[in-house]
Amino acid sequence: MSDYRSTVGQRLPLIDSMEKVSGQGTYIEDMSFPDMLYARMVRSSESHAVVEQVDFAAAAEIEGYVAGLAPGEAGTGIHFGVLPISEDETPLPAPKALHSGCIVAAVAAESERAAREAALRVEVRYSVLDPVVRPRDALRETDHPLHPTTVAGTNLHKAVDQEFGDVDGAFAEAATVASGEFRFDGINHGFTEPIGCIAVPEANGRMSLYSATQVPHYLHRALAKVLEMPMHRIRVFKPLVGGGFGGKSDPFPHEMVAALLARKTGRPVKIIFDRDEVFLNHHGRHPTEYRIRVAADGDGRLLGLDSHSRIDGGAWGSFGVVTTYYNGVLSQGPYRIPAFRYSGRRVYTNKPASGAMRGHGAVNARFALETCLDEVAEQLRLDPFDLRAQNALPPNTTTLNHLRITSTGFLECLQQVRERSGWERKFRQLPHGRGIGLGCGFYISGSALPIHRTRTPQSTVHVKIDVDGGVTIHSMAADIGQGSDTMLAQCVAEAMGVSMDRCRVFARDTDTAPLDLGSYSSRVTFMAGNAALRAGEAIRRKLHKACARLTGLRADDFLRGANETYVHRDDDSVRVPYADALREALADNGALIAKGIYRAPKLGGSFKGSGAGLSPSYSYQAFVAEVEVDEETGQVRVDKVWAAHDCGKALNRLAVEGQIEGSVHMGLGQALSEQLVFLNNGQLQNGSLLDYKIPAPPDTPEIEAIVVESNDPEGPLGAKECGEGALAPIIPAVANAIHDAVGVRMHEVPMTPERVFKALEKKRRAEEKLRAGS
Amino acid sequence: MQVPDFILRQPATLQEAITAAQEASRPPDGSHAPSAPEQGYDWLGGGTDLLCNYKWRINQRPVVIALRGVAELQSDVAGSLAAGRTLWQLENDAEIQRRYPALASTAALVASPLIRRSATLGGNLHLDTRCWHFNQTAEWRAAHRSCLKAEADQCRVLPDPGDVCVAAYCGDLAPVLIAYGAVARLHGPDGERRVPLAEYFAGDGIRRFAERRRAELMVAVEMPADAEDWRVNYRKLRLRQTFDFPEGGVAVGLQWESGNPGVIAAARIATTAYASVPLLHPEVVELLQGQLLDQDLADRAGALLESLVQPMKNTSMSPSYRRKMARVLCRRALLDCSPHSSS
Amino acid sequence: MSTSRRILRLRVNGQPREVLARDADTLLDVLREQLGLTGSKRGCDLGTCGCCTVQIDGEPQLACLTLAAEVGEREVTTVEALRDGEEFAPLQQAWAAAGASQCGFCTPGFLMTTDWLLREKPDCNREQMREALAGNLCRCTGYVKILDAVERCTRSQGACPSEK
Ligand SMILES: Cc1cc2nc3c(=O)[nH]c(=O)nc-3n(C[C@H](O)[C@H](O)[C@H](O)COP(=O)(O)OP(=O)(O)OC[C@H]3O[C@@H](n4cnc5c(N)ncnc54)[C@H](O)[C@@H]3O)c2cc1C
Ligand code: FES
Ligand code: FES
């Protein structure tokens, strides 16, 4: 027997945490290069307009002005985008500016100050078109659609219609139907590090782009397209990234502009956005209108789900096609739903683009569903927990839309929060004004289909060991603060049976790292983690061969042992220290290298859109919130949150809890205070951290993160995602708690004091009417 | 983001400060033509309002006169609070907590603790008025072409504003100090004048003060001798527990009939964030005077206040909600004053 | 208008530093762009995130809203000085161990506020921590592990940073 002690499940600090606490960690804003220029964007004053002319004459008079970049110049009109099916962005308008504040030109100057002064003096002539601002107007025909690719002369970007099972029949036979129309405002990622990049034209003719990005690979592709250079002539480098949450997961115009300006001037060009520009760049959660009906029989068994979403895509496609699908598809769990209909419409409007944000596509739909389930439970006088438990998807099943369900810890999530929150003595029993509510969730653990059709694995990890005994790990998985570098180190160390401090992770540079698709769709632990394990195992096999040579025993009989040794499976007195095994392995051979790959299994049906929502595994959540509602003001205070999340296996408890807690915090922001507000012309009203209200420490309750482990058969060491799924459930949990507290159902998110107050007024009026009538 | 250029003056005495202001407001041609009071310079307290505005290129001036080094603004003299004291000091000063508890507790409601480290009393009282169409970046305002108070000649809040600006005054301390009956001590080239804070503010979002004199600044806020006899309370409407400016704020000050606690002998009511200046509400005072403070009286006072305030659509919450909340804020602030209330 | 500049003699992290700065430069501009002290972060530049928090004479202050020319003789301390050579401050160690940094961008600001807090209120409870940290935003952690880290450094739990 092996005496190896695993790190799995321990509380491991991030491997870069000392860098971060020392202030030495290098983020993009901290970097500079010799002879570097600073660029400043010139932004559109119009919501929808053809850019007729850009005049740099007045700007050029500013001391330090070096160059301008205007629409029409080489590369500025080349289309790119994260999804090949909607490559509708261009570095600069070609020829139209599509929202107030979008980039229309840029200037580069010797100093940041000169660039700012110059940019303010650039004169842009527009010929103005009517903006389309409201999604419902975007469905009408128009002479000036935002993009030539829209559907039938309207501003419709993507339509999805899916139906499985006998939906009408389900509703006809239902004992009860809950329904609602919901509205969700747009939400911004709100990462603390503003977006930025530096383009460096290398002396050998290559282009390097340093960028705060979560998708170096997609950025690499887009740059190649826009610069019309082969990919091998381009290098993308990702420094420490100060949060992403989906907001750094597209290739962006400013990255292209930096590269184009660098090429034009032959000098490094740096762009760092001000906070308001981060909001303009956006690509956050879609403003959404959601209509839903849920049918159940008299015992609370779900019979059918019928939903429709209209999502406001803003100016560009981004991940929007995926969002359109996810708004329906991801409602197929964690419950068994025998009949399902969904239609989704994504429209273009003259506003900052929406895109992917933590919990991508699942959050708003989840709110609608979980609120309706609460209503079903109420109508049938069932406990909300019982209702959900009896409809839970069992393990090893397939949903109507062919999602393959393997591991699930959903029932345990329910049980855990039910007990820990004291539900039994609180629900429907707290004094008026106080309430408790449940919300559940289901999320993909990595999108099984890669964005580009290719047979290349989604993740590859390289490991190298040499005479120093250190373990060098190369990957392009993007650590954006979620700790993927630490996860890679742990997986490799675990597979090799060595200590994590031997590991150094280089997951920054496309020149040295093997391909990984990046940090989105909650894929990194599952995919890159599996690849890392395999790489680590491959190199350990080489070490075992060395052990065999040293001992004359069989390589296959060696196991990982305590204190970085390899031990014989039948005789633990036969033990080879790692250092000895390594020395032997290097002899006549040189550095050991190994690689591991991950490619998702082939999954899913063959109908249109069958790829959406496919994942090698899914995460599950059950959250409870306890709230206090001030009936006179509508103010909601969340006192405590219990959040149980099935992450398969917690490789690192500290990191898993951190992801759950952070998701809950972000979800509470969307639940109660965060919203993007637009003027009638589509201009963003509140692009600042004062007016876009992220909860601060005193606004954030204690959050009890409860880790549930279902041990996924395909996950790395049993793990699956924990970074995104944990956001959605808190919002309906709060709404359901508000209902328990004061008896109103909230249909608009965020549930600001004003909206809660209005709902209460409406209820009071209805009650008065009732009293007057009787 | 970078603060646009200015020349910083750092006087050490009140007289030097006033002289610096006089120099800065002299027209560049050297003539002695009368100029607007603030033309050419701004005072700088903690800079937590001014520098944010400057970064967004809002009404910058070529000269900034820092008051940090001005000795007269740094230390209190008997019965008055120096204008240069930080809000952090006000909230943590045991003497202030004892004598003017509502002032200390309100200071602690302003902005964030980090901002309050530099934010000064003088700066808070002179905080520029705010509006969603004004507190925006230069590029935003240029796209919007919309603000009387900034560069444009129209207004997006009122359809036909004339030259009246409706930007909101959102300082938290002014209503509380008014409820205490505080008096502003101002110094200018012609020496000192004293103006009750209740009469200090007037006009619209641009003019803001009843009388603004060239090169004049606030040295201190004088607390009347009877301030401690007043029960003062302040309630603030905001979304987050920190950072956010008031969307409405109501301060009440009550004095009981002697020997008859609970019966109101005198009252003061002041609101903030509902108009371009802190407002007094004599109608509510009249309702309260001579009455026993109970739930019903507080309700009626709140209802009356609700009917009096007229917030505009220029902050993040809607005018109708802010107006309705005036009732709640007022009622709660009043009930907090009652002899049995803990605060 | 011509730019008004001056030579500033600052004391930063115990060292005298001389810089030529514009009158309008903030302390954050000078620290980051002239002194190469990039530990203090610029999250908003408008007082709304706390990422730029430094200490001036031991008290936390927002470097983005402080004019460099107004600092005068006062001692400026940035995150870089929390560490004493090889030795990390107990607070920094607690931060890492508790998982209080995820992306780490808010970390320097939180550390500078917290370092003061623990000196001032070595026995603070979680409610008091929330109040004291109300000027710092974090988007990653939900503050739970941040408060855990501070808690580890309270007097009852361990070493105070002032006793480092
Ligand atoms: C994120 C954020 C949130 C905020 N929230 C609030 C809030 O909730 N409540 C609130 O009240 N304020 C709030 N503020 C505004 C501001 O921080 C405070 O009002 C602060 O008290 C202003 O003081 P200061 O010394 O920093 O002012 P400064 O910025 O230095 O000055 C403000 C104005 O007052 C003038 N001035 C300063 N001192 C004098 C003087 N002695 N005599 C005459 N004029 C003078 C200046 O010329 C300037 O016009 C907030 C600010 C920010 C950035
Ligand atoms: S950068 Fe100073 S508070 Fe945000
Ligand atoms: S750790 Fe990312 S913002 Fe705090």
Q: Is the pLDDT of residue A135 over 50?
A: yes
* Ligand 1 pocket: which of B118, B126, B135 to mutate (most atoms within 8 A of CB): B126
Residue A663 lies in a domain: yes
Distance CA B278, CA B295 (A): 26
Under DSSP, the state recorded for B33 is: -
**Total number of domains constituting chain A:** 3
Bridge partners, residue A271, by sequence: A197
Q: Kindly state whether residues C114 and C65 are assigned to the same domain.
A: no
Identify which of B322, B317, B295, B290 has the alpha carbon closest to the alpha carbon of residue B306: B322
Residue B159 lies in a domain: no
Report the DSSP pairing between strands C59-62 and A49-55.
unpaired
Q: From the list A13, A658, A688, which residue is nearest C97 (CB)?
A: A13
Q: Kindly state whether residues A238 and A362 are assigned to the same domain.
A: no
Distance CA B110, CA B128 (A): 15
Report chain C residues whose CB lies below 8 A from the CB of B62.
Answer: 1
pLDDT at position A246 is: 97
Distance CA B152, CA B135 (A): 14
Question: Which ligand 1 atom is nearest residue B43's CA?
Answer: 47
Q: What is the mean pLDDT of residues A686-714?
A: 98
Substitution target from B131, B137, B331 for chain A, most A beta carbons within 10 A: B137
Contacts of A713 (CB under 8 A, 6+ apart): A406, A407
Q: How many residues does chain C have?
A: 164
Distance CA A741, CA A759 (A): 13
**Total number of domains constituting chain C:** 2
- Under the banding of pLDDT at 50, 70 and 90, the label for residue B30 is low
- What spacing in Å lies between the alpha carbon of B116 and ligand 1's midpoint? 9
Helix (H) or strand (E) holding A492: helix A484-496
Tell me the three state secondary structure of residue A216. Answer: helix
Tell me the three state secondary structure of residue A381. Answer: coil
Q: Kindly state whether residues C29 and C68 are assigned to the same domain.
A: yes
Residue B2 lies in a domain: no
Q: Is the peptide bond before A334 cis (omega within 30 degrees of 0)?
A: yes
**Total number of domains constituting chain B:** 1
pLDDT at position B23 is: 94
Contact A665 C141 (CB under 8 A): yes
Q: Is A274 on the interface with C (CB under 8 A)?
A: yes
pLDDT at position A515 is: 97
Distance CA A376, CA A307 (A): 16
Q: Kindly state whether residues A396 and A386 are assigned to the same domain.
A: yes
Distance CA B39, CA C93 (A): 52
Of A598, A617, A641, the one marking the end of a domain is A598
Tell me the three state secondary structure of residue B333. Answer: helix
pLDDT digits (tens, 9 = 90+) for A247-276: 999 999 999 999 999 999 999 999 999 999
Distance CA C123, CA A503 (A): 38
Contact B6 C4 (CB under 8 A): yes
Of A547, A580, A598, the one marking the end of a domain is A598
Distance CA C138, CA A697 (A): 8
C105: nearest CA in chain A?
A: A242
The b-or-e profile of B313-325 (16+ CB within 10 A means b, else e) is ebbbbebebbbbb
pLDDT at position B160 is: 80
Task: Kindly state if the Cβ of A71 falls inside 6 Å of ligand 3.
Answer: no
- What spacing in Å lies between the alpha carbon of A643 and ligand 2's midpoint? 31
Residue A253 lies in a domain: yes
Residue C10 lies in a domain: yes
B2: nearest CA in chain C?
A: C25
Q: Please state, as a whole number, how many other Cβ atoms lie within 10 Å of the Cβ of residue C13.
A: 17
Residue A396 lies in a domain: yes
Q: Kindly state whether residues A441 and A479 are assigned to the same domain.
A: no
Q: Is the pLDDT of residue C15 over 50?
A: yes
**Lowest-confidence region among A33-42, A116-125, B26-35:** B26-35
pLDDT at position C164 is: 38
Of A554, A577, A598, the one marking the end of a domain is A598
- What spacing in Å lies between the alpha carbon of A741 and ligand 1's midpoint? 39
Show the domain range for B297.
228-336
pLDDT digits (tens, 9 = 90+) for B47-72: 999 999 999 999 999 999 999 999 99
Distance CA A578, CA A563 (A): 9
pLDDT digits (tens, 9 = 90+) for A294-324: 999 999 999 999 999 999 999 999 999 999 9
Distance CA C31, CA C12 (A): 9
Residue A10 lies in a domain: no
Show the domain range for C38.
6-80
Q: From the list B137, B138, B241, which residue is nearest A699 (CB)?
A: B241
B4: nearest CA in chain C?
A: C24
At residue C146, what is the residue type? I
Q: Is the dihedral of CA A139, A141, A146, A149 positive or negative?
A: positive
Q: Kindly state whether residues A647 and A684 are assigned to the same domain.
A: yes
Identify which of B42, C87, C142 has the alpha carbon closest to the alpha carbon of residue A664: C142
What angle separates helix A484-496 from helix A524-551, to the nearest 10 degrees? 30
Report the DSSP pairing between strands A434-444 and A618-629.
antiparallel
Of C80, C109, C143, the one marking the end of a domain is C80
pLDDT at position A667 is: 98
pLDDT at position A1 is: 65
Residue A484 CB burial class (10 angstroms; 0-12, 13-18, ≥19): buried
Q: From the list B1, B142, B316, which residue is nearest A691 (CB)?
A: B316
Q: What is the mean pLDDT of residues B74-78?
A: 88
Distance, CA of B13 to chain centre: 25
Give the residue carrying structure tokens 């107990």: C90
Q: Kindly state whether residues A110 and A259 are assigned to the same domain.
A: yes
Residue B74 lies in a domain: no
Distance CA A23, CA A26 (A): 8
Contact A697 C41 (CB under 8 A): no
At residue A22, what is the residue type? S
Contact B117 C48 (CB under 8 A): no
pLDDT at position B222 is: 97
Tell me the three state secondary structure of residue A351. Answer: coil
At residue C148, what is the residue type? D
pLDDT at position B341 is: 73
Distance CA A421, CA B243 (A): 31
Bridge partners, residue A107, by sequence: A40, A68
Cβ proximity of B143 and A46 under 8 Å: yes
Contacts of A107 (CB under 8 A, 6+ apart): A39, A40, A42, A56, A59, A65, A66, A67, A68, A69, A115, A118, A119, A122
Q: From the list A113, A120, A633, which residue is nearest B138 (CB)?
A: A120
Distance CA A116, CA A111 (A): 9
Under DSSP, the state recorded for B73 is: G
Residue B328 lies in a domain: yes
CATH number at residue C42: 3.10.20.30
Question: Which ligand 1 atom is nearest residue B84's CA?
Answer: 41
Contacts of A767 (CB under 8 A, 6+ apart): none
Substitution target from A11, A15, A21, A501 for chain C, most C beta carbons within 10 A: A21
- Under the banding of pLDDT at 50, 70 and 90, the label for residue B153 is confident
Q: Kindly state whether residues A528 and A632 are assigned to the same domain.
A: no
Residue having the nearest C-alpha atom to atom 3 of ligand 2: C47
Show the domain range for A523.
17-24+450-598
Contacts of A768 (CB under 8 A, 6+ apart): none
Q: Is the peptide bond before A695 cis (omega within 30 degrees of 0)?
A: no
Q: Is the dihedral of CA A225, A319, A518, A482 positive or negative?
A: positive
Distance CA A117, CA A167 (A): 61
CATH number at residue A752: 3.30.365.10
- Under the banding of pLDDT at 50, 70 and 90, the label for residue B90 is very high
Residue C36 lies in a domain: yes
Residue-by-residue DSSP string for C125-137: -HHHHHHHTTT--
What separation in angstroms does the CA of A123 have from each of A59, A115, A120, A256, B148? 8, 14, 8, 22, 23
Residue B201 lies in a domain: no
Chains in touch with A (3+ beta-carbon pairs under 8 Å) read B, C
Distance CA A277, CA A298 (A): 53
Q: Kindly state whether residues A199 and A76 are assigned to the same domain.
A: yes
Q: Kindly state whether residues A318 and A431 are assigned to the same domain.
A: yes
Cβ proximity of A558 and A567 under 8 Å: yes
- Under the banding of pLDDT at 50, 70 and 90, the label for residue B145 is confident
Q: Is the pLDDT of residue B144 over 90?
A: no
Q: From the list B44, B66, B112, which residue is nearest C135 (CB)?
A: B112
What separation in angstroms does the CA of B107 have from each of A199, A465, A660, C55? 46, 60, 35, 21
pLDDT at position B38 is: 53
Distance CA A566, CA A90 (A): 55
Residue A148 lies in a domain: no
pLDDT at position C163 is: 43
Q: Kindly state whether residues C62 and C11 are assigned to the same domain.
A: yes
Residue A46 lies in a domain: yes
Q: Is the pLDDT of residue A619 over 50?
A: yes
The tokens for A704 are 């009890």
Under DSSP, the state recorded for B167 is: P
Distance, CA of A495 to chain centre: 28
Residue A166 lies in a domain: no
Which residues' Cβ are closer than 6 Å to ligand 1? Answer: A 690; B 42-50, 52, 67, 83, 87, 110-111, 115, 118-120, 122-124, 126-128, 170-172, 217-218, 243-245; C 46-48
The tokens for A208 are 């390097």
pLDDT digits (tens, 9 = 90+) for A150-207: 988 999 999 999 999 999 999 999 999 999 999 999 999 999 999 999 999 999 999 9
At residue A256, what is the residue type? M
Q: What is the mean pLDDT of residues A370-395?
A: 98
Q: From the list B3, B10, B69, which residue is nearest C24 (CB)?
A: B3
CATH number at residue B327: 3.30.390.50
Q: Kindly state whether residues C45 and C105 are assigned to the same domain.
A: no
Q: Is C35 on the interface with A (CB under 8 A)?
A: no
Q: Is the pLDDT of residue C162 over 60?
A: no
Distance CA B135, CA B291 (A): 43
Restricting to B residues 47-86, those with a Cβ less than 8 Å away from any Cβ of C are 47-48, 51-52, 54-55, 62, 64, 66, 68-69
Q: What percent of chain A has pLDDT over 90?
A: 98
Residue B257 lies in a domain: yes
Chains in touch with C (3+ beta-carbon pairs under 8 Å) read A, B
Tell me the three state secondary structure of residue B337. Answer: helix
Report chain C residues whose CB lies below 8 A from the CB of B86.
Answer: none
Distance CA A228, CA B297 (A): 76
Distance CA A443, CA A620 (A): 7
Cβ proximity of C79 and A22 under 8 Å: yes
pLDDT digits (tens, 9 = 90+) for A60-101: 999 999 999 999 999 999 999 999 999 999 999 999 999 999
Q: Is the pLDDT of residue C152 over 50?
A: yes
Of C80, C98, C126, the one marking the end of a domain is C80
Instruction: Find the largest Cα–Cα distance for chain B.
Output: 65
CATH number at residue A117: 3.90.1170.50
- How much is the ipTM here? 0.97
Tell me the three state secondary structure of residue B107. Answer: helix
Tell me the three state secondary structure of residue A285. Answer: strand
CATH number at residue C133: 1.10.150.120
Task: Kindly state if the Cβ of A481 falls inside 6 Å of ligand 3.
Answer: yes
pLDDT digits (tens, 9 = 90+) for A674-695: 999 999 999 999 999 999 999 9
Distance CA A293, CA A176 (A): 10
pLDDT digits (tens, 9 = 90+) for A220-242: 999 999 999 999 999 999 999 99
Residue B182 lies in a domain: no
Identify which of A648, A306, A189 has the alpha carbon closest to the alpha carbon of residue A444: A648
Residue B79 lies in a domain: no
Q: Is the pTM of this model over 0.90?
A: yes
Question: Which ligand 3 atom is nearest residue A242's CA?
Answer: 2
A275 min Cα distance to partner chain B (Å): 9
Q: What is the mean pLDDT of residues B213-235?
A: 96
Size of the A and B interface in Cβ pairs below 8 Å: 68
Cβ proximity of A269 and A255 under 8 Å: no
* Ligand 2 pocket: which of C27, C46, C106, C137 to mutate (most atoms within 8 A of CB): C46
- What spacing in Å lies between the alpha carbon of B137 and ligand 1's midpoint? 18
Of C53, C80, C107, the one marking the end of a domain is C80
Q: Is the pLDDT of residue B32 over 70?
A: no
Contacts of C125 (CB under 8 A, 6+ apart): none
